[in-house]
Amino acid sequence: MFIAMNRFRVNPERTDEFEQIWLERETHLQGLPGFVEFHMLRGPEEEDHVLYASHTIWRSREDFEAWTHSEAFRAAHANAGQSRREGLYLGPPKFEGFEVIQTIGESNDA
């Protein structure tokens, strides 16, 4: 399993706008080979930003990388650089990719 995360530092005065953008966008993820699930997470609020992270789970790194080269990826990110978003972010998103080495869930309890 592979987890792809992007961290976003968002202007605290524009969190409603940021959240609306994500809630209204078409993800183009459903039905893709290897896609498991997506989460948008709201984290701590600092003086100059609110931290958000997108969290996507894939069956494998290869499935994730195939998505990044797909038409679905281009469609999902087509409007990512819109000028109306100037001042929304404190810098570009920070990507982090993780190979899962252990999973513990409810059904693993003894």
For the segment 57-99, what is each residue's pLDDT rounded down to a tens digit? 999 999 999 999 988 888 776 666 554 678 899 998 999 999 9
Q: Lowest mean pLDDT: which of 21-30, 39-48, 77-86?
A: 77-86
Comparing 109 with 87, the larger pLDDT belongs to: 87
Mean local confidence (pLDDT), 96-110: 86
Contacts of 33-37 with CB under 8 Å at 24 or more apart are 33/59, 33/63, 33/66, 34/58, 34/59, 34/60, 34/62, 34/63, 34/64, 34/66, 34/67, 35/59, 35/63, 35/67, 36/1
DSSP tag of 71? H
pLDDT of residue 84: 61
**pLDDT at residue 40 is higher than 60:** yes
Distance of CA 46 to the CA centre of its chain: 20
Domains of the chain plus CATH, in order, are 2-99 (3.30.70.100)
pTM over 0.85: no
